[in-house]
């Protein structure tokens, strides 16, 4: 029986983890956010309602116990805003539904100021969200930071809302596991943004990988039953850094502007992109996926760089996290494309390799080696089982399993809960 599940991103973040966590949270007793800060953002769609979260675990809408654990960094202003937003929507937020670790570190105004891309050349180069995440983690490592336990003794106007929620969470989490409760660990960002295992220096400042779930909560490795990696059916990346399967250039993507500029003429843009994509234009293949998948940041509204599924990176991600199974999201986005590519190897210095290259300067120079498969036109957003998918979609998914070296447990064919197909439930609650 599966009692503890870690859900984490297998790519550069934005893989749709929020929806998968929401789907699994229905059967969980406790949902825990273990790393990152409000630089992460996820959207959950329930019926006609859309919920956007940055700090609070998405399990909050289920009325379960949600924990912001010690591995996170917390901006008090953002946290209080999210609490008040949820309360205004009719959700009860108290110590029975939300707990904040006393050992989590506090993002202060000075951290946000230092991280402002408009003022920091480094922040602009890396492509940070400017939320103060990196400077806060730096102060934590330098042992000059402020923990939440210290912050709630200050005279800040946000203290009143936060102080009743603060606890030593490592005991609460381990007691819950020992008593047989079902625990869901929620990652932020993705494996390739990990400070140790990602495309350094174009990474976040924490460990989104499975190790971060352990150090970020105070739970030992033997207490983890299942590690589920979430991957899009293609690949996206926000900000700077190498991206082997990118379609078009980062400059072309950024020139398109933020979502609010795109939305008024969305359908027209989508039609044009699909037509040119199927004529073989690589930039428009990427643009079509960006538009169809609405690949614009939850936190920033910035357009995400898009590319074909990178099987080399995915295989690496499965390996270093010890993933027991994977989830493929946004399969519906590929609908309409006549041909679909999968990167199965890299070519570098005249040699072919199926191993991910950890040196970012070298990774920026690799040439992806592609395998091409036929696409499909059928709308799969209402499909309820794997066998109902069009044959070409099934073949594509089977090939992803072979390349990644992991079986698929869940497929997502749209943003809603009911657009979720359980293929293999062995790793689920």
CA atoms of 260 and 281, how far apart (whole Å): 25
The residues facing 419 across adjacent strands are none
Output the pLDDT for position 136. Answer: 97
Considering the domain architecture, whether residues 219 and 252 belong to the same structural domain is answered as no
Output the pLDDT for position 309. Answer: 98
Burial class (CB in 10 A: 0-12, 13-18, 19+), 280: exposed
* DSSP codes joined into one string, 388-428: GS-HHHHHHHHHHHHHHTS-EEEEE-SSBTTSEEES--TT-
Considering the domain architecture, whether residues 168 and 259 belong to the same structural domain is answered as no
Q: Examine residue 410 and state whether it is found in any structural domain, yes or no.
A: no
**Domain of 171, in residue numbers:** 4-235
Considering the domain architecture, whether residues 36 and 157 belong to the same structural domain is answered as yes
Coil, strand or helix at 318: helix
Q: Examine residue 423 and state whether it is found in any structural domain, yes or no.
A: no
Which residues are catalytically annotated? 14, 42
Residue from 49, 37, 43 nearest 14 by CA:
43
Output the pLDDT for position 124. Answer: 60
pTM across the whole model: 0.94
Contact 69, 173 (CB under 8 A): yes
Strands (E), 219-302: 226-232, 235-237
Considering the domain architecture, whether residues 141 and 290 belong to the same structural domain is answered as no
Considering the domain architecture, whether residues 231 and 266 belong to the same structural domain is answered as no
* DSSP codes joined into one string, 338-354: SEEEEEEEEEETTEEES
CA atoms of 408 and 228, how far apart (whole Å): 9
Considering the domain architecture, whether residues 224 and 115 belong to the same structural domain is answered as yes
Considering the domain architecture, whether residues 147 and 255 belong to the same structural domain is answered as no
Considering the domain architecture, whether residues 22 and 145 belong to the same structural domain is answered as yes
The residues facing 100 across adjacent strands are 68, 166
Please name the residues in contact with 366: beta carbons below 8 A apart, sequence gap of 6 or more: 242, 244, 346, 347, 348, 357
Among 268, 288, 307, identify where a domain stops.
Answer: 307
- CATH label of the domain that carries residue 20: 3.40.440.10
Q: What is the mean pLDDT of each run of 10 residues along the chain (429 residues)?
A: 97 93 94 91 70 84 94 97 91 95 97 82 66 96 98 97 98 98 96 98 96 98 98 94 97 93 94 98 98 85 94 98 98 98 97 97 98 97 96 98 98 93 97
Please name the residues in contact with 154: beta carbons below 8 A apart, sequence gap of 6 or more: none
With the C-alpha atoms ordered 230, 419, 391, 341, is the resulting torsion angle positive or negative? negative
DSSP state of 30: E
Among 206, 235, 264, identify where a domain stops.
Answer: 235
Considering the domain architecture, whether residues 181 and 298 belong to the same structural domain is answered as no
Q: Examine residue 54 and state whether it is found in any structural domain, yes or no.
A: yes
Contact 94, 163 (CB under 8 A): no
Q: Examine residue 112 and state whether it is found in any structural domain, yes or no.
A: yes
Q: Which two tokens stand for residue 270?
A: 């989508």
Output the pLDDT for position 118. Answer: 73
Q: Examine residue 155 and state whether it is found in any structural domain, yes or no.
A: yes
Give the number of domains in the chain.
Answer: 2
CA atoms of 245 and 324, how far apart (whole Å): 25
Q: Which two tokens stand for residue 357?
A: 């290259």
Q: Examine residue 367 and state whether it is found in any structural domain, yes or no.
A: no
Among 265, 290, 307, identify where a domain stops.
Answer: 307
Output the pLDDT for position 84. Answer: 94
Contact 7, 20 (CB under 8 A): yes
Q: Examine residue 315 and state whether it is found in any structural domain, yes or no.
A: no
Q: Examine residue 193 and state whether it is found in any structural domain, yes or no.
A: yes
Considering the domain architecture, whether residues 195 and 272 belong to the same structural domain is answered as no
Output the pLDDT for position 46. Answer: 65
Q: Which two tokens stand for residue 111?
A: 């951290």
> How far is the CA of 71 from the CAs of 108, 136, 177, 216, 370, in angstroms?
16, 12, 18, 4, 38
Considering the domain architecture, whether residues 231 and 255 belong to the same structural domain is answered as no
Considering the domain architecture, whether residues 295 and 267 belong to the same structural domain is answered as yes
Contact 115, 124 (CB under 8 A): no
């Amino acid at each position: 029986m599966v009692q503890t599940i870690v859900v984490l991103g297998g790519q550069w973040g934005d893989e749709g983890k929020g929806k998968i966590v929401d789907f699994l949270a229905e059967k969980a007793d406790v949902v825990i956010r273990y790393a990152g800060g409000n630089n992460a953002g996820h959207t959950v769609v329930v019926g006609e309602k859309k919920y956007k979260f940055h700090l609070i675990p998405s399990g909050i809408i289920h009325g379960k116990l949600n924990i912001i654990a010690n591995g996170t960094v917390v901006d008090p202003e953002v946290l209080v805003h999210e609490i008040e937003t949820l309360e205004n929507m009719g959700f009860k937020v108290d110590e029975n539904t939300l707990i904040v670790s006393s050992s989590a570190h506090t993002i202060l105004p000075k951290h946000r100021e230092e991280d402002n891309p408009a003022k920091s050349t480094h922040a602009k180069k890396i492509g940070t969200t400017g939320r103060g995440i990196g400077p806060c983690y730096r102060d934590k490592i330098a042992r000059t930071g402020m923990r939440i336990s210290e912050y709630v003794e200050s005279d800040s106007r946000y203290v009143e809302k936060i102080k009743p929620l603060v606890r030593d969470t490592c005991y609460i989490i381990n007691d819950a596991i020992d008593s047989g409760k079902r625990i869901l660990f929620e990652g932020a960002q993705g494996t390739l943004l990990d400070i140790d295992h990602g495309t350094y220096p174009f990474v976040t400042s924490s460990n989104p990988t499975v190790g971060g779930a352990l150090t970020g909560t105070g739970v030992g490795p033997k207490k983890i039953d299942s590690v589920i990696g979430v991957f899009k059916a293609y690949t996206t990346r926000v900000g700077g850094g190498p991206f082997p399967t990118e379609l078009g250039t980062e400059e072309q993507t950024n020139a398109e502007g933020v979502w609010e500029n795109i939305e008024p003429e969305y359908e027209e843009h989508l039609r044009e992109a699909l037509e040119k994509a199927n004529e073989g234009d690589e930039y428009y293949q990427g643009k079509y996926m960006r538009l169809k998948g609405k690949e614009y940041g939850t936190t920033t509204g910035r357009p995400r760089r898009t590319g074909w599924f990178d099987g080399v990176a995915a295989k690496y991600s499965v390996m270093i996290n010890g993933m027991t199974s994977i989830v493929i999201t946004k399969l519906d986005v590929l609908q309409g494309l006549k041909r679909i590519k999968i990167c199965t190897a890299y070519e570098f210095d005249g040699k072919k390799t199926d191993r991910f290259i950890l040196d970012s300067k070298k990774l920026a120079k690799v040439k992806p080696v592609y395998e091409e498969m036929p696409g499909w036109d059928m709308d799969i957003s209402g499909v309820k089982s794997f066998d109902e998918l069009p044959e070409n979609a099934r073949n594509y998914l089977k090939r992803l399993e072979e390349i990644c070296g992991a079986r698929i447990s869940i497929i997502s064919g749209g943003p809603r809960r009911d657009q979720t197909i359980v293929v293999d439930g062995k790793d689920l609650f």
